[in-house]
Amino acid sequence: MELTRENLRKEMDSFRSSLKEESISHSEKSFYLEKDGEVASIILDEVGTKANKLSTSNMLRLLELFMEIESDSKIGCIVFKSRKPTIFIAGADISEIEKMGEADGEDASQGLMKLQAVFTYLEKMPIPSIAAIHGVAVGGGLELALSCDYRMMTDAPETRVGLPEVLLGVIPGWGGTQRLPRLVGLEKALDLILTGRQVDSRTAKKMGLVDKVAPKELLEVKAMQWARSLAKSRAKRRYDGGHSLMERVPGGKYVVFEVAKKKLLEKTKGNYPAPLKAIEVIKATYGGNLEKGLKVEAKAFCELVGTPESNNLISVFFLNDAVKKDKGTESGVAGLPVVHSAVVGAGVMGGGIAQLFAQKGVRVRLKDINWKAITQGFKTAHAIFAKRVKRKRMKPFELDNAMALIEGTVNYTGFQHTDLVVEAVVEDMEIKKKVFQQLESVVGEKTILASNTSSLSITELSEATKNPSRVVGMHFFNPVEKMPLVEIIRGNHTSDEAVATIFQFSKKLGKTPVVVKDGPGFVVNRILAPYLNEAVFLLLDGVAPEDMDQIMEKFGMPMGPATLLDEIGLDIGAKVSKILYGAFGDRMKPPPFMEQVVKDGFLGKKTGKGIYVYGKAKGEKTVNQELIKTFKPKARDAKLTDEVVERRMTYLMVNEAARIYAEGLVRHVSDIDVAMIFGTGFAPFRGGLLRYADSLGAESIVSELEVLSRTYGERFKPCEYLQQLSVKGGTFYERSGNGKK
């Protein structure tokens, strides 16, 4: 049966019968009408949560409200308003999307088309509608707004719109692939749909996605004024599309699709099916009949949902969500507020950390041993802010205000008022101990003392102080402004309050925190070290740097290991490797010649020469033949296939991660995956390192590690925990059994 408006009215009962009474009554309380003369406002205020979501029962509720409005001939315009402080509508209910993956494709598609029809119903109502957006309107939230005739949006920073479905391995399924291109034209729509990025009011207005922008305080008044005038004219809107010149020239659309696809494949190496499918759907439907287009969209959506890629991306979403709800400790004790802070050491990391604190409105004293170093720290912070201004993410006066929150000092004045001090001085235990002892004598009783060390023991450091319970690790990654992960290191004496404070504060900074116990390399560096060592062993075995980079990019890493080593710095890599060798012995033994190449000054990108030689133009690099000569590589053996190269690197990571888990260094298996995804960009479509390991099975990993161990050395010996899993047929995660495997 075709889902016309009339049919949909008839379908209401069957729609209702698929839902539980309690969800129907929840939706009735959450979405309701307020009438004011000729204007009906649909209020979105989902009970018991911070976010409005479009669950099936909420969609049914919307349909009921549309019909109720239609039965009142006085009403001439509809306005959608959210009562949530930072969210208009956060999108579909993701657990419902996940469940769709278990349903039969045809049933799922039929179900989805009913939900699509709710928005089509709204679009075809004889009276106009306005989405008055304050806060996030993403996914289904934006698709609802796109089904309205008009959109108004506040200019508040928390108001952002986008279609992030590809980040969950699916495509927009409630008309987004149809209505967005019709509204803003192909190029802009593809940009949003293929990247999943969210845009602010300025960009949304420029691209024609919203009609009007209003200050937050005036949204309600302005939207109602507009609605009253529309109620008189009853003017519906036609799509008038912001088609670019390229789309209008003959053959132009074809070029737009081809360019988009090429760019996408370069970026994703074909690992993400959803954006490719989005291109396919839009290409097949653009400019055609809307109903037919919606059908194609629904079918494509259902083909993607439940695939391993989508399941894994959804699991990453839930991992992130779990971090948001977590407090960082089992006791659930609340963290202390951080209003005044200080950073000691104004180097690469200290400058970046001070910038981040100031960006979030936290006062920060930046201390170093001399003014030259402090000036450098200010320069680092200023450069990051300046980039944000250039990208129009902040206004010049906001830069000035934020910089004013950073105060330089060569002594400890003002430290007694700090809630948190982050130490980021040179990586030297004795120097750090001294700094902590000095800090203890100047800060208040409640001040938390955190170290940004990447390898030193927090327990040992804390023992140099009188109150070791307030000493904790707060390990940022470089560059601070870009890398989402913060490893929070709990030493043997660290209190729950100290952990909770850093956990809560890291989230406030917009970072993803993971709590780990003290141990050499913590989680990320301990897993990365054998991976990067192996890259050098592979060089010795004759694998070209570009080849190994390509193999690992194809696997899903954001950059290959040779490039990553150059980014980190071969000197730093060698130093970390040495520390971990000291701690764990032979399996972490650094490859030969590393000290030599460091002595030769091949430190990586920072010296212009590392494994690659870097040219002046962005991205320009060639292999550093001088370094290769030092390594005296063998000729690559035919048995060393690309697959073996990939396994040598990835299975070593799995092996080390299994040890970390077995040693109880993390609270949950998922902490390792969160750390690797947000600390190294480990292939999100694989759901994280250990979810990837589960997809292969412990038995196969163990037997492959044994083969590698016989061929390439003892470092590949499977650890005990993996062997046990292999014998039991166990997995790291509990089996959920969902999805099309």
Give me the active site residues, please: 487
Q: For residue 174, which of 110, 123, 117, 132 has the smallest C-alpha distance?
A: 117
Q: Using the 8-state DSSP alphabet, how is residue 517 labeled?
A: E
In which residue are the tokens 């059908």 written? Answer: 295
CB-based contact 383:372 (threshold 8 Å): no
Binding stretches for ligand NAD (CB under 6 A): 344-350, 367-369, 373, 424-427, 431, 435, 452-454, 476-478
Three-state SS at 516: strand
What CA–CA distance (Å, rounded) separates 665 from 675? 12
What CA–CA distance (Å, rounded) separates 279 from 260? 8
Run of H or E residues at 527? helix 524-540
Q: How far is the CB of 595 from ligand NAD (least distance, A)?
A: 19
Q: How far is the CB of 415 from ligand NAD (least distance, A)?
A: 12
Run of H or E residues at 485? strand 485-490
Length of the chain: 741
- Strand partners of residue 78: 40, 129
Strands 621-623 and 87-89, sheet pairing: unpaired
Q: Using the 8-state DSSP alphabet, how is residue 153 labeled?
A: E
Radius of gyration (C-alpha) of the chain in whole angstroms: 28
Cβ nearer to ligand NAD, comparing 604 with 739: 604
Strands 39-44 and 31-36, sheet pairing: antiparallel
Q: How far is the CB of 529 from ligand NAD (least distance, A)?
A: 14
Number of Cβ atoms within 10 Å of the Cβ of 493: 18
Q: How far is the CB of 372 from ligand NAD (least distance, A)?
A: 9
Cβ nearer to ligand NAD, comparing 304 with 485: 485
CB-based contact 681:558 (threshold 8 Å): yes
Number of Cβ atoms within 10 Å of the Cβ of 530: 26
Burial (Cβ within 10 Å: 0-12, 13-18, ≥19) of residue 167: buried
Q: How far is the CB of 527 from ligand NAD (least distance, A)?
A: 15
What CA–CA distance (Å, rounded) separates 309 from 424? 38
Cβ nearer to ligand NAD, comparing 346 with 683: 346
Cβ nearer to ligand NAD, comparing 354 with 373: 373
By Cβ distance, which residue is nearest to ligand NAD? Answer: 347
In 596-713, beta strands by DSSP E? 612-614, 621-623
In which residue are the tokens 């709710």 written? Answer: 118
Cβ nearer to ligand NAD, comparing 89 with 598: 598
> In the structure encoding, which two tokens stand for residue 184, read together?
């803003």
Cβ-based neighbours of 450, under 8 Å, separated by 6 or more: 420, 421, 422, 423, 471, 472, 473, 474, 502
Strands 448-451 and 471-476, sheet pairing: parallel
Q: How far is the CB of 342 from ligand NAD (least distance, A)?
A: 11
Q: How far is the CB of 357 from ligand NAD (least distance, A)?
A: 15
Cβ nearer to ligand NAD, comparing 174 with 682: 682
Q: How far is the CB of 381 from ligand NAD (least distance, A)?
A: 13
Cβ nearer to ligand NAD, comparing 105 with 347: 347
Cβ nearer to ligand NAD, comparing 275 with 350: 350
Cβ nearer to ligand NAD, comparing 106 with 428: 428
Cβ nearer to ligand NAD, comparing 115 with 374: 374
Q: How far is the CB of 514 from ligand NAD (least distance, A)?
A: 15
Burial (Cβ within 10 Å: 0-12, 13-18, ≥19) of residue 304: buried
Give, to the nearest 10 degrees, the angle between helix 669-680 and helix 308-325: 100
What CA–CA distance (Å, rounded) separates 733 from 64? 42
Number of Cβ atoms within 10 Å of the Cβ of 21: 9
Q: How far is the CB of 464 from ligand NAD (least distance, A)?
A: 14
